[in-house]
Structure 1
Amino acid sequence: MSEPCNTFAEGDNLAVLEGLSAGSVDLIYIDPPYNTGSAFAYRDRFEGHAAWTAMMRPRLVEGRRVLAETGAIFVSIDDNEAAHLRLLLDEVFGEDNFLAQIVVNLNPKGRQLGNGFATSHEYLLVYARDARRCVLDASSPDLVIESDFPLVADDGRRYRRLPLRNTNKKFNPLTAPTLHFAIWGDPDTGEVRTTPFDGAVEIKPVFGDGAPAVWRWSRPRIDQRPDDLVCRRVRGTAGDRVDVFQRDWRHPVGGARRKKLRTIWLAEEIGSTDTAVAELKEIVGHVFESPKPTGLVRRILETMPADARVLDFFAGSGTTGHAVALANAADGGRRTCLSVNHPEPVRPGSNADLAGYRTVADITRARLQAVAEKVGGGYAEPGPSS
């Protein structure tokens, strides 16, 4: 029988981490307590930043130990501890392994309570275990839209034209001499070749001001992919000239088109706190005040291979496990997720309490069991940790 998609361990997360093998996970996502005192289930009012950092340090150290050399960690945080967490992650993972500090727009309307600005964002800090070996791909197929590719070929495929010349002036005949050469093209038929042919004109790469440039492709690559190039007349500052362009296809051969992720993630792309509450309510009820949307975690999952071993040791309502099951159902992936949660008592009189949940771990368990029933992937529980 195949390994279940979701496994849940109830207990102290540090003890669970210490029991895991080194390098046994590929991706960690955690949403630790934010040290605000406002979360309904966690008693997360730590006495000062030092106490919060002291709580987090050994857990991040163990997280680094169990993370594979090719892996990465994503940590959600707000303004209260963002600066201290950044320093702590630099200490544990190394400054050279910092990948990004992403702004996540989880509350588009902004928080209207209290004084000051209407905060509408949190942060996502991203570090590699080893940046030189990390397999994280900071791109997503979901960001690619049809309008980015306005042209249509005779066979119906959509594409856009990109200059074949390198537009970065750091690359020129002095810095890249092997890429400065003449090619031949016919602007009437669009045909491009590396050798002369009837009707063709000689074309050398130049910048808009006429200064010598270089091509982005080598001669062998042009010979291999002539149908992906087109020759056209263009209007420049010095008058009309002939230039060569790449046909950049919407659906390239050999894999799905992806677009680099920006460092601002909008609620319209990944969901908001409101949509997260709604999706949790649909599956187990309104029992958690500020869950993360599954869309946020699914975007994180897209940056790693589809068989990634995922770990969330501040599992909260179980968003990460839910997102892993949804991602597998969508693309046939074989991701697995270990969720860990402490049996922290829920607040008396809270929605969770009124719904019959004694601890936050009870909520995590209920959600992941419901996900297994509704989405699939299976569920397992090794038993409580000491």
Structure 2
Amino acid sequence: MGAEPGPWNIFAEGDNLDVLAAVLDGRPESVPSEYDLIYLDPPYNTGNDFAYHDDFKGARGAGVAGRHASWVAYLRPRLEAGRRVLAETGAIFVSIDDHEVAYLRLLLDEVYGEANFLAQVVVNLNPKGRQLGRGFATSHEYLLVYAKDASRCVLDASSAHTVVESDFPLEAEDGRRYRRLPLRNTNKRFNPLSAPTLHFPVWGEPESGRVATAPFEGAVEIKPVFGDGTPAVWRWSRPRIDERPDDLECRWVRGTRGERIDVYQRDWRHPVGGRRKKLQTIWLAEEIGSTDSAVAELKELVGHVFESPKPTGLLRRIVETMPDDARVLDYFAGSGTTGHAVALANAADGGSRVCLSINSAEPTRVGSNAERAGYPTVSAVTRARLRAVAARVGGGYAELS
């Protein structure tokens, strides 16, 4: 009989550099020493007071350039420490706003390598836009995504939740929805010279839509061609066409050279094994939640204590780009959204993800909602939320001493 699974959520209070050094050294043995996914929401350098009172703020008097340089100097060792505990197949997501996105991009290029850049995602967390101040009503932040090694990274930049019925406008006789995809390869790099085994005739009858690799009554021969009439190749081999005749159909199409018969794959809405759709690089609040919905989520668990937490929908989308047994790390844990999202994902799909959340015992601002609610430190909020998540969602909770 195997050992009992550990808790989904583990919390460590302390300076993230100290805790990461201990993790790298295998202390304690109850937590993983490497992680598949890192998410960070570091303090933003807006030029105002921060939630984290660190040395980099001491250069405020040095002007804008000094603030940028000091912020980068503060974050660099923390990114380097994170890279040391990231698995070779892993990835890191970092939230940032306009003030430091250019500097953070260059810093991540240095620490992770420009070749391991995966995406710069625009995240629409404030759909109404910020109405205070001059200029535009900013409605977005960014996520910078890097792999430890892009050639080995297991991140799947797709989601089952982004698949919608309107993507599949056609309906088969049995009620299943589908869309048509050309059976011929539309990339001209693939042609009878580069892929000769995929250039062959099939037979089809456009009234019924039937397609086969051998002639049948009423069928006409169809060869793969590009729109300009030059020879092309199919995407499927003869054996595959023979195995899946119900997934193909032929029909008349009108091109620049007149009418012709072409062959299409019926791409079904619900194929065996489920369907996922590639994630775009703009994530809308209606898909992943907003700052307002994040405040409401946090308020339900521990009260109205943070003004701009991240929504669990954002973190769910990030977490679900990795396998369902991923080891997740957040060492700027804030209100604990990452751990909350891990628990929700496990509860939804039966996964066995684990999350280590690290936060410092930084005092909450005097007179803030958090202080008035009885949370003397930022880490007290993280701890309270993760305990509440364990009680409500399940999965357990543990702390590192």
**TM-score for both structures, normalised by structure 1:** 0.95
In structure 2, the gaps of 5 or more residues are 26-32, 60-66
Describe the SS at the equivalent of 2:120: strand
1:164 equivalent to 2:183? Answer yes
Give the aligned residue type for 1:236. G
Checking the alignment, whether the CA contact within 8 Å between 1:40 and 1:350 is kept in structure 2 is no
Q: Does 1:69 align with 2:79?
A: no
Larger relative contact order (Cα-Cα within 8 Å, sequence gap ≥ 6): 1
Shift of 1:40: 6.5
* 1:243-293 residue CA offsets vs partner (Å, 9 max, x unmatched): 11101011111x111111111111111111111111111111100111001
Match of 2:388 among 360, 370, 381: 370
Q: Within the alignment, does 1:30 sit opposite 2:40 as a pair? A: yes
**Residue 148 (structure 1) aligned with residue 167 (structure 2):** yes
Aligned partners of 2:34 and 2:85 also within 8 Å: yes
Given that residues 40 and 347 in structure 1 are in contact (C-alpha distance below 8 angstroms), is that contact kept between their aligned partners in structure 2?
no
Find out whether 1:91 has 2:95 as its counterpart.
no
Post-superposition shift, 1:76?
A: 0.3
3-state SS of 1:143 partner: coil
The one-character-per-residue Cα deviations of 1:161-212 (angstroms, maximum 9, x if unpaired) are 1111122333322333332211111223322111222222110011222222
Match of 2:63 in 1: none
- AA of the residue aligned to 1:206: V
Whether the aligned pair in 2 keeps the contact of 1:40 and 1:289 (CA below 8 Å) is no
- Check 1:228–1:39 CA distance in 2 against 1; reply closer, same or farther (3 A cut): farther
Residue deviations 1:307-338 (CA, integer Å, cap 9, x gap): 10000000000010011111111111111100
Contact 2:43 2:50 in 1 (8 A): no
1:3 and 1:39 mapped to 2: Cα distance? 38
Partner of 2:74: 55
Question: What code does the residue aligned with 2:76 have?
Answer: R
Which of residues 205, 215, 220 in structure 2 aligns to 1:196?
A: 215
The answer as to 2:26 corresponding to 1:7 is no
Q: What corresponds to 1:108 in structure 2?
A: 127
Q: Is the 8 A contact 2:205 2:219 kept in 1?
A: yes
Give distance in 2, aligned partners of 1:147 and 1:94: 39
Q: What is the root-mean-square deviation of aligned Cα atoms in Å?
A: 1.5
TM-score normalized with structure 2 length: 0.92
Q: Which of 302, 306, 310 is residue 288 of structure 1 equivalent to?
A: 306
Alpha-carbon distance between aligned partners in 1 of 2:172 and 2:351, rounded to the nearest angstrom? 33
Offset of residue 39 of structure 1: 6.2
- Number of the residue aligned with 2:28: none
Give the Cα–Cα distance (whole angstroms) in 1 for the partners of residues 49 and 14 of structure 2: 19
Identical counterparts, % of pairs:
77
Which residue of 2 is the match for residue 228 of structure 1?
247
1:37 shift after superposition: 4.9
Question: 8 Å contact 2:44–2:50 — kept in the other structure?
Answer: no
Q: For residues 124-159 of structure 1, give each alpha carbon's deviation from its aligned partner in whole angstroms, at most 9, with x where no partner exists.
A: 000001101100001111111112112222332211
Give yes or no for contact 2:43–2:51 (8 Å, CA) kept in 1: no
Cα deviation, residue 82, structure 1 = 0.8
**Contact 2:159 2:321 (C-alpha < 8 Å) held by counterparts:** yes
Q: Structure 1: 5+ residue runs without aligned partners?
A: none
Taking a change above 3 Å as real, the CA distance of residues 38 and 306 of structure 1, as seen in their structure-2 partners, is farther
Contact 2:122 2:281 in 1 (8 A): yes
Q: Deviations over 1:202-231 (max 9, x none)?
A: 100112222222211122221222221112
Distance, in Å, in 1 between the alignment partners of 2:397 and 2:266 is 47
Whether 1:117 aligns to 2:136 is yes
Taking the aligned partners of 2:197 and 2:183, their CA distance within structure 1 comes to 15
